[in-house]
A and B are shown apart, each in its own frame.
Chain A
Amino acid sequence: MWKYVLRRFIISVLTLLVLVTAVFFLVRAMPGDPFMSEKLTPEIRQNMLVYYGFDKPLYVQYFQYIKNLMHGDLGVSMFYNGIPITKLIGDSFPYSADLGIRSLILATLLGIILGIVSALNRGHWLDYVCVFIAILGVSLPDFVTGYLLQYFFGIKMRLFPIAMWTSGMHKILPVIALSFYSTAQLTRIMRASMLEVVGEDYIKVAKAKGLTTPQIVWRHQIRNAILPIVTLLGPLTAAILTGTFVIESIYAIPGMGKYYVLGIQNLDYSQILGLTVFYGAFLVAANFAVDIIYGLVDPRIRLDGGK
């Protein structure tokens, strides 16, 4: 198990390094630079370039960036004059994290439950309801879901507030909108996985031993069917994270997504770079955690080092 953990850890660190390097050079390769405004005289422009270190060779800038990164310094925003990127993140990330984590939890619980219900009632109307939800979820882009929920439950029925992120009631619609796609994916996979496990020999053995159906379902079927779900959690975290960009802008939630999109529009190098590195590190950490969980729940990996 430790060998497996160490291996995943090394891969995570490498991933992060590749990410930082790739993003650094990609950002520099963007057409234009942050000081292209016509209001700036050539002297001011030159001063700005020197101030932010853009006059030095690219590799010097790169190593300087890595060095600062090691100290937890992500640089200073060029568009919002002088505000450190870490402050931008510190102010906005709690909202994004709140939204994202709630959605991920809702999606996981609901997806697994719907998948189980669906598989156990195969061919029954309950199954069709779950399959319908799953199909609707995977075939609607999340901004469409977001606007539709806002319209029907917020504006038409006045059941929930239409925007902002203050009370618990405000959080219901955005969380449902963001988790809808992931719930649907999990339902699909969980249903398929449950149906696949039913045919296995150990279920027949359990039946032959005389176990009751609830015992078989709980101890053998669900336990084995849930494995593929764990591998799906990594990609779903990524999907929810990028989904926050969209949902935050629909529901006016002051999260990080806005800064990311604005950073790209304003060509704010340090903002794009800083937020990407932060997102990347967050996802790499999440994937690492998922790998560890997978190692814990799957004895094959726990015992032979996950070859």
Chain B
Amino acid sequence: MDFDRVAPATKNTVEVISRPSLTYWQDAWIKLRKNKVASFALCLLVFYVFMALFGPMMGKFDFKSIDGDAIDAIPSMSHYFGTDTLGRDLWARVWVGARVSLSIGIMSAILNAIIGVFIGGVAGYFGGKTDMLIMRFIDVMNGIPNLIVAILVMVVLGEGLTPLVIALIVTGWLGSARLVRGQILQLKNQEYILAARKLGAGTWRIIFRHLIPNTSGIILTNVTMTVPYAIFQEAFLSFIGLGVQPPNASWGLLAKYGSQTFRFAPWQLFIPAFFICTTMLSLYVLGDGLRDALDPKLRNK
């Protein structure tokens, strides 16, 4: 039998690295940037966050002060978004409202995810009785209408931002806990977990170093998708008079007052409604984009 002599590797014959090695997040970021619509949504959201922080300072008026000469004024060079029925500047109120609406949305979504990851992770990893107990608890909690729980919590705790966030996370974590548990169940019997265990990694190391990072894409997508839900719930609570209280503002509250006056002052409804609408839309689009970008199975397509 003949053997071909293998030439020693030279610079020219070494396998060429066809592309730079990228981490999971770098890869996802590149893919997200290629998705034009999702990138636009991300830019718009960043812009809204920026304006929520600095917008009120760019106008000429304070969000609380009443301008008696300009009641129900249409948008103009002094009041960029017009004024409301009491003569308060809507530009300032819209961006102050953005602070409230966006922070409620983001805070409750993140807290839901943290609680959900912890409880779902424990249920999925330990399995058996622990899993059974936690899942039955979640089943029972899930049957309770969450807006009704939110209403009661608001009534008991009083008004303000913190009670609102608490009201939204009392039942909000259930969905993310289920999601994480499902993921962990799928992942925990994979070979690399077995390898980690054979190398002597402890339970918590496996959960925090291997399982949770591998579910992080799905969790992030889920967070993006729950922010709009929280903003909606806040709008609902404001509508029935339990959300943020005037003179403070949120987008939901502005839309509520706007809808009562829009027959003669349509901008009072259309401006907050436009911001609610575009924020929701951007979050959904970004969520879809993230789901595609973070799915490792789609990596080379």
Residue ranges of A at the interface with B (Cβ–Cβ < 8 Å):
11-12, 14-16, 18-19, 22-23, 26-27, 29-31, 135-136, 138-144, 147, 151, 155, 238, 241-242, 245-246, 261, 264-265, 272, 276, 279-280, 283-284, 287
Contact = CB atoms under 8 A, between A and B. Distances in A.
Contacts of A245: 240
Contacts of A140: 273, 276-277
B274 to A, nearest CB: 10
A238 B228 contact: no
Contacts of B114: none
Contact of B156 (A29, A155, A246): A29
Given A31-B158, A147-B269, A155-B263, A280 B140 contact: no
Question: Which of B140, B145, B260, B284 neighbours the largest number of chain A CB atoms within 10 Å of its CB?
Answer: B145
B151 to A, nearest CB: 7
B239 A143 contact: yes
B126 to A, nearest CB: 17
Contacts of A141: 232, 235-236, 239, 252, 255, 276
Nearest to B232: A141
Nearest to A267: B155
B259 A241 contact: no
Contacts of A151: 262-263
Contacts of A144: 255, 259, 269, 273, 276
B143 A139 contact: no
A11 B136 contact: yes
A27 B148 contact: no
A143 B143 contact: no
In this complex, the member of B147, B255, B259 whose beta carbon has the largest number of chain A beta carbons within 10 angstroms is B259
Residue of B153, B240, B255, B277 ringed by the most chain A CB atoms within 10 A: B240
Contact of B276 (A23, A29, A139): A139
B140 A241 contact: no
Contact of A27 (B146, B152, B239, B281): B152
B155 A147 contact: no
Q: Specify the main secondary structure of chain A where it touches its partner.
A: helix
Nearest to B278: A139
Given A143-B255, A261-B241, A12 B281 contact: no
Contacts of B284: 135, 138-139
Contact of B145 (A30, A136, A279): A279
A61 to B, nearest CB: 17
B147 A242 contact: yes
B139 interface: yes
B88 interface: no
B263 A15 contact: no
Interface in B230-284: 232, 235-236, 239-242, 252, 255-256, 259-260, 262-263, 269, 273, 276-281, 284
A241 B280 contact: no
Given A138-B284, A139-B277, A141-B236, 5 more contacts: A14-B140, A18-B141, A19-B144, A22-B149, A280-B145
B235 to A, nearest CB: 4
Contacts of A27: 152
A18 B139 CA distance: 12
Nearest to A15: B143
A265 B241 contact: yes
20 contacts: A15-B139, A16-B143, A19-B144, A26-B156, A30-B155, A138-B228, A138-B284, A141-B255, A144-B259, A144-B269, A147-B262, A151-B263, A246-B236, A246-B239, A264-B242, A272-B152, A279-B145, A280-B144, A280-B145, A287-B143
A18 B140 contact: yes
A51 to B, nearest CB: 24
A135 B255 CA distance: 19
A283 B145 contact: yes
Nearest to A150: B259
B240 A11 contact: no
B32 to A, nearest CB: 19
A30 B156 CA distance: 4
B153 A18 contact: no
B256 A143 contact: yes
Contacts of A241: 145
B193 to A, nearest CB: 22
A26 B152 contact: yes
Contacts of B279: 139
Nearest to A17: B140
A197 B269 CA distance: 41
A152 to B, nearest CB: 11
B146 to A, nearest CB: 7
A141 B139 CA distance: 28
B147 A238 contact: yes
A226 B273 CA distance: 32
A15 B280 contact: no
A141 B231 CA distance: 9
A12 B141 CA distance: 10
Nearest to A257: B240
A242 B259 contact: no
Contacts of B140: 11, 14-15, 18
A141 B250 CA distance: 13
B288 to A, nearest CB: 9
Given A23-B152, A144-B255, A242 B276 contact: no
Nearest to B235: A141
A23 B144 CA distance: 11
A135 B41 CA distance: 14
